[in-house]
Amino acid sequence: MSCCDLAAAGQLGKAGIMASDCEPALNQAEGRNPTLERYLGALREAKNDSEQFAALLLVTKAVKAGDIDAKTRRRIFDAVGFTFPNRLLTTKEAPDGCPDHVLRALGVALLACFCSDPELAAHPQVLNKIPILSTFLTARGDPDDAARRSMIDDTYQCLTAVAGTPRGPRHLIAGGTVSALCQAYLGHGYGFDQALALLVGLLAAAETQCWKEAEPDLLAVLRGLSEDFQKAEDASKFELCQLLPLFLPPTTVPPECYRDLQAGLARILGSKLSSWQRNPALKLAARLAHACGSDWIPAGSSGSKFLALLVNLACVEVRLALEETGTEVKEDVVTACYALMELGIQECTRCEQSLLKEPQKVQLVSVMKEAIGAVIHYLLQVGSEKQKEPFVFASVRILGAWLAEETSSLRKEVCQLLPFLVRYAKTLYEEAEEANDLSQQVANLAISPTTPGPTWPGDALRLLLPGWCHLTVEDGPREILIKEGAPSLLCKYFLQQWELTSPGHDTSVLPDSVEIGLQTCCHIFLNLVVTAPGLIKRDACFTSLMNTLMTSLPALVQQQGRLLLAANVATLGLLMARLLSTSPALQGTPASRGFFAAAILFLSQSHVARATPGSDQAVLALSPEYEGIWADLQELWFLGMQAFTGCVPLLPWLAPAALRSRWPQELLQLLGSVSPNSVKPEMVAAYQGVLVELARANRLCREAMRLQAGEETASHYRMAALEQCLSEP
């Protein structure tokens, strides 16, 4: 067969075989075309390449352009099969006088035609061609060659058809298509716009897998899009606003893109725009805030003005959407605005290296207060039928972020909403799987194309814990929370979350939010112990909580890196033990003895004697493990010392147990080995409180302290109460 015949065969697309013309049949006379059937028979009976080419040319003549329907395509496939296209795609030598890509172009054209049938697009013989097809996207050649352009179009049609099958994206990613598409787009050759469109589809379908397989190439595309966005002066900047969120990596945005993205957004949002132009920019800014916090915003005057503009625009959008009852809420846009408000809250509460100046913070707090008022107004209208909608979850989330930092303003409105919040949190807690799904839906709503990041926890209660911690200090809100059953719900939640940290679970894979949530629960319970002790004594849920604390602390204090949680558990347990001292569980049971032994370990290991250069006497210093977190730990430690002191006279078995642990002896030994000037007065008071109660409670404790030079040590530290107690028989 001559090259002219091959070229003629390559024109099959103009007569119905090329992918671009594989459309549904037009109105055709009933019955099959006898001429076509005869030629298809010849195609099936062809014995060599020349006869197949000739038969294909005859089929081309019998079928007018655009007249080929799905059934006809299938009959052509049945006649040709995959063997012939496979040979065309893999041949390395073309007939004399023909460009080397002609045979491949015909092979791709046949595959593209077959891929119009979804069943064939998912066929293994098509899927195993993905690596070959991907190489065609970046192959070099004459950009004006019509046959090469047709081959590129057909290649994209093949890959797009595969992407449309259920497992197609996975096969394309594994076959190297994502990298090839990135390179094709960056090369800006023929069909680069089709490469971008297919990339968008693959990222929407399987973002994580795409980034895992082709991160360097996708980052290169992101850099290119960011540069285009920064330079764009026409309507394309609005199109890029919609595209860019899809190309932001699931972890963090590379810093080299910050400047271009921020500059492009500043130019858009600083102009007077219609909502369809502004909303994509707000959503892009929200995605950046979610992924990078404020790192993408430059320091200095321009950055602070831009951040203030972002938050102000977000608050205005939230008020417009939520204050007017009956208006349709653009939930994706408002959710994006919530993310920008969270960024504003974070920056307004940041003490060091904040982008905002104090007057800007005051102004933003004022405008955010008005927006939060609109959120509360919206939530008060939410009926039970809407509680499982993702937008309600997003609204509760932003309210939780506000209440974590500010509970003094909007006090009346917050108290009015508290019953709803307790019921809402309880509903989602009881249906935990739906809560996780809601978190996913919220992320999909405006922040991330697929999965949420670690800052979108999958339960409503965790979002509300910091705010409730503040509110339980205040009489009015606390009474409402107790009346609505919040303490019982919190106990159940704590026990359920605690199970995730128990033996048998891999705590290394748990998000930090689980441990932070447990600590915040402890803070709420501490508030209730102090402000509502009667509740602790009468509500059975706190007995269950006490049992869990007692059985858990011994193992917890031994675990590296969990000292702060251990401090919370120990201190809460000691304070509750004072109130529940008559409980059978605290009468010297193995669990209670194990708990107090662990509590003593926590309290006793906080300080050590440390030698100082040039001095014969050591000083009292923090233990290395405690030193780095003492700012967060010290209040709990002092409260724990005070609570332990209060437990000694209530639990007769506790003083002998403390003596067996050698804590009082070692404490006096520590004080005797360091300079009294190195021990702060508050430390002296805490140590004396424990020693005095132990000495008063048990004669053997007094004797052991005397043997450890207790009277002398008490005199050196001016511990008058201890000195007097030890001087008594």
Give yes or no for a contact between 182 and 218, defined as CB atoms under 8 angstroms apart: yes
* pLDDT surpasses 70 at 446: no
Number of domains in the chain: 2
701: domain CATH number? 1.25.10
* β-strand pairing of 607-610 with 619-622: antiparallel
In a domain, 420, yes or no: yes
Sequence-distant (≥ 6) Cβ neighbours of residue 401 within 8 angstroms: 341, 342, 345, 463
pLDDT band at 89 (very low <50, low <70, confident <90, very high): confident
In a domain, 388, yes or no: no
Tokens standing for 570? 């120990």
What is residue 455's predicted lDDT score, i.e. its pLDDT? 39
With residue 173 as reference, give the H or E element that holds it. helix 168-174
pLDDT band at 148 (very low <50, low <70, confident <90, very high): confident
Q: Are 613 and 519 part of one and the same domain?
A: no
What is residue 83's predicted lDDT score, i.e. its pLDDT? 76
Tokens standing for 527? 């508030």
Q: Are 621 and 525 part of one and the same domain?
A: no
In a domain, 585, yes or no: yes
Give exposure, 682-718, as e/b (b: 16+ Cβ within 10 Å): ebbebbbbbbbbbbbbbeebbebbeebebbebbeebe
* pLDDT surpasses 90 at 620: yes
**Global pTM value:** 0.83
In a domain, 417, yes or no: yes
| CA within 13 Å, CB half, 249 | 20
* pLDDT surpasses 70 at 450: no
Which amino acid is residue 135, in one-letter code? T
Report the C-alpha gap between 13 and 155 in whole angstroms.
13
Q: What is the pLDDT of residues 265-303, one digit of tens each?
A: 999 999 888 888 899 999 999 999 988 889 999 989 999
Q: What is the Rg, in whole angstroms, of the alpha carbon atoms belonging to the chain?
A: 36
What is residue 66's predicted lDDT score, i.e. its pLDDT? 43
Q: Are 473 and 592 part of one and the same domain?
A: no
In a domain, 338, yes or no: no
What is residue 435's predicted lDDT score, i.e. its pLDDT? 53
Q: Are 567 and 487 part of one and the same domain?
A: no
Beta-strand ranges (E) seen in 404-505 are: none
What is residue 675's predicted lDDT score, i.e. its pLDDT? 93
What is residue 443's predicted lDDT score, i.e. its pLDDT? 57
Q: Are 571 and 642 part of one and the same domain?
A: yes
Give the residues across from 610 on adjacent strands: 619
Give exposure, 234-256, as e/b (b: 16+ Cβ within 10 Å): eeebbebbebbbbbbbbeebeee
Which amino acid is residue 156, in one-letter code? Y
What is residue 441's predicted lDDT score, i.e. its pLDDT? 60
Give exposure, 651-666, as e/b (b: 16+ Cβ within 10 Å): beebbebbbeeebbbe
Distance from CA of residue 170 to its chain's centroid? Answer: 23
Tokens standing for 90? 């893999």
Q: Are 524 and 586 part of one and the same domain?
A: no
Q: Are 522 and 574 part of one and the same domain?
A: no
Sign of CA pseudo-dihedral 588, 594, 600, 602: negative
What is residue 13's predicted lDDT score, i.e. its pLDDT? 34
Sign of CA pseudo-dihedral 246, 250, 256, 259: positive
Give yes or no for a contact between 29 and 58, defined as CB atoms under 8 angstroms apart: no
Report the C-alpha gap between 24 and 48 in whole angstroms.
30
What is residue 444's predicted lDDT score, i.e. its pLDDT? 56
Q: Are 569 and 630 part of one and the same domain?
A: yes
Give yes or no for a contact between 402 and 396, defined as CB atoms under 8 angstroms apart: no
Q: Are 488 and 566 part of one and the same domain?
A: no
pLDDT band at 442 (very low <50, low <70, confident <90, very high): low
In a domain, 393, yes or no: no
Q: Considering the chain, what is the average pLDDT of its residues?
A: 86
What is residue 508's predicted lDDT score, i.e. its pLDDT? 61
Give the residues across from 618 on adjacent strands: 674
SS3 content of the chain, % helix, strand, coil (to 5): 70, 0, 25
Distance from CA of residue 494 to its chain's centroid? Answer: 22
Task: Lowest mean pLDDT of 445-459, 466-480, 582-596, name the range.
Answer: 445-459
Q: Are 600 and 527 part of one and the same domain?
A: no
Sequence-distant (≥ 6) Cβ neighbours of residue 648 within 8 angstroms: 654, 655, 658, 690, 693, 694, 696, 697
* Three-class DSSP category at 620: strand
What is residue 321's predicted lDDT score, i.e. its pLDDT? 92
* pLDDT surpasses 70 at 96: no
Q: Are 480 and 611 part of one and the same domain?
A: no
Q: Are 522 and 558 part of one and the same domain?
A: no
Rounded (10°) angle between helices 630-647 and 590-604: 130
What is residue 99's predicted lDDT score, i.e. its pLDDT? 65
pLDDT band at 214 (very low <50, low <70, confident <90, very high): very high
Give the residues across from 406 on adjacent strands: none
10 Å CB burial of residue 300 (0-12, 13-18, 19+) is exposed
With residue 621 as reference, give the H or E element that holds it. strand 619-622
What is residue 95's predicted lDDT score, i.e. its pLDDT? 61
Nearest residue to 399 (alpha-carbon basis) of 349, 343, 463: 463
Q: What is the mean pLDDT of residues 300-321?
A: 94
Q: What is the mean pLDDT of residues 34-60?
A: 73
What are the C-alpha distances in Å from 269 to residues 276, 316, 517, 587, 670?
A: 12, 13, 37, 67, 64
What is residue 716's predicted lDDT score, i.e. its pLDDT? 93
In a domain, 671, yes or no: yes
Give yes or no for a contact between 25 and 121, defined as CB atoms under 8 angstroms apart: no
pLDDT band at 81 (very low <50, low <70, confident <90, very high): confident
What is residue 109's predicted lDDT score, i.e. its pLDDT? 83
What is residue 150's predicted lDDT score, i.e. its pLDDT? 87
Q: Domain of 473?
A: 407-437+458-502+509-538
Which amino acid is residue 723, in one-letter code? E
In a domain, 482, yes or no: yes
Give yes or no for a contact between 36 and 59, defined as CB atoms under 8 angstroms apart: yes
Number of helices (H), then strands (E), in the chain: 38, 2
Give yes or no for a contact between 638 and 574, defined as CB atoms under 8 angstroms apart: no
Q: How many CB atoms lie within 10 A of CB 353?
A: 8
